[in-house]
Amino acid sequence: MQKQKEFNIIYVIGLIISTIFMIWIFLFELFVFSYTFLVFFWVVKYLSGFGLILSIANGFLFLFDKFKNHITKRGTSILILLQLIIPILFVIYAIYRIFSGYYGGSGIRMVGVWADIYVWIDDIIYIYGIVSLLLTLYLIPIIRNKFDDAINQTRTYIFKKGLKRVGREFKKKYFTLRKKHAKVQLQDQMTGKDVLISWRNKFSVYLLIPIGIGSLLIMPLAFILIVLWLKIIFFEKVEIKFHERIALLIAIIILGAMAVLAPYLELWIFTEIGYLLWTINIFYLIGITVACTIYFRKIL
């Protein structure tokens, strides 16, 4: 109890000092810190790329589960081939966005309604990617007090996960003997999805540090993120207090709102780093590649 009181005092003092430092930044127009916001976009795009493959995995898992009694061996092979092709298309798209962004938007030229449709789709993907990412990785887990579950796993959770893995291996052997190829693949699909979710949730915690660095311009938010990361990583099984969850919730909402609105309101933060925004697609590509590597090792 005494240690918690001491921690709370230090926490409040840290918030006050970081707020003063933020005011100092704005008073003296030290907008060089706006470049750190680029790091936030890097993290978001990395997680978006990773989450994209998870969404694809969910789609194919639904197909295998829904039609497991009707898909033939050939049909199973075709679906697996599609699972390989679709991420490759997104990899090509990410590479295209990297080079078109670097060379000032040069690339495929569209005019008229097609240009409008392309812009709309691009905007929808951008906004949906950030909002859905922050909801599934941060806001909902924080509200449910499950944010650090991926890092601080209980023995019961580890035991249940082990039982689930053994059960799926047994089912795979059984379905293999009965030549139920779709059902065999279904077990691999579920394992692949679980592994992706586990890694995504771990990344959401580990990457609090670069997100904190990306919000140095708004120093109190950076302080909240970095302190919570230190508490989760170095003080395992320590309960995250209610006020800390509320602070983290507010920090994520503010950062998410800034990321979504900055391009459309032409905020100076966005205009300062505009010429470097092509680099975020590099991390989008990395996210897709890492997720594909993890996922395909489980299903192939």
State the DSSP H helix or E strand holding residue 31, giving kind and residue range, or none if neither: none
| pLDDT for 285 | 93
The confidence band for 128, taking pLDDT boundaries of 50, 70 and 90, is confident
Pick the closest to residue 299 from 177, 179, 172 (CA basis): 172
Instruction: Report d(CA 208, CA 227) in Å as an integer.
Output: 10
Q: pLDDT at residue 289 above 70? A: yes
Q: What is the DSSP letter of 123?
A: H
**What is the model's pLDDT at position 223?**
92
Q: Where residue 290 falls among pLDDT bands split at 50, 70, 90?
A: very high
Check whether 162 has a pLDDT greater than 70. Answer: yes
The pTM (predicted TM-score) of the whole model is: 0.84
Nearest by Cα to 187 from 298, 98, 71 = 298
Residue type, 272: E
Q: Report how far residue 218's alpha carbon sits from residue 96's, in angstroms, rounded to the nearest whole number.
A: 33
DSSP codes of every residue in 142-165? HHTT-TTTTTS--HHHHHHHHHHH
Report residue 237 as tokens: 């099984």
**C-alpha to C-alpha distance for 104 and 298, rounded to whole angstroms:** 39
Who has greater pLDDT, 148 or 278? 278
| Per-residue pLDDT, 79 | 92
In this prediction, residues 237-261 reach a mean pLDDT of 83
pLDDT of residue 133 exceeding 90: no
Cβ burial 241-268 (10 Å sphere, 16+ → b, else e): eeebbebbbebbeebbebbbebeeeeee
Share of the chain above pLDDT 70, in %: 87
Q: Which of 135-144, 147-156, 161-170 has the lowest mean pLDDT?
A: 147-156
Distance of CA 85 to the CA centre of its chain: 22
Q: Which residue has the tokens 């919730």?
A: 249
pLDDT at residue 261, rounded to an integer? 81
Asked if pLDDT for residue 295 goes beyond 80, the answer is yes
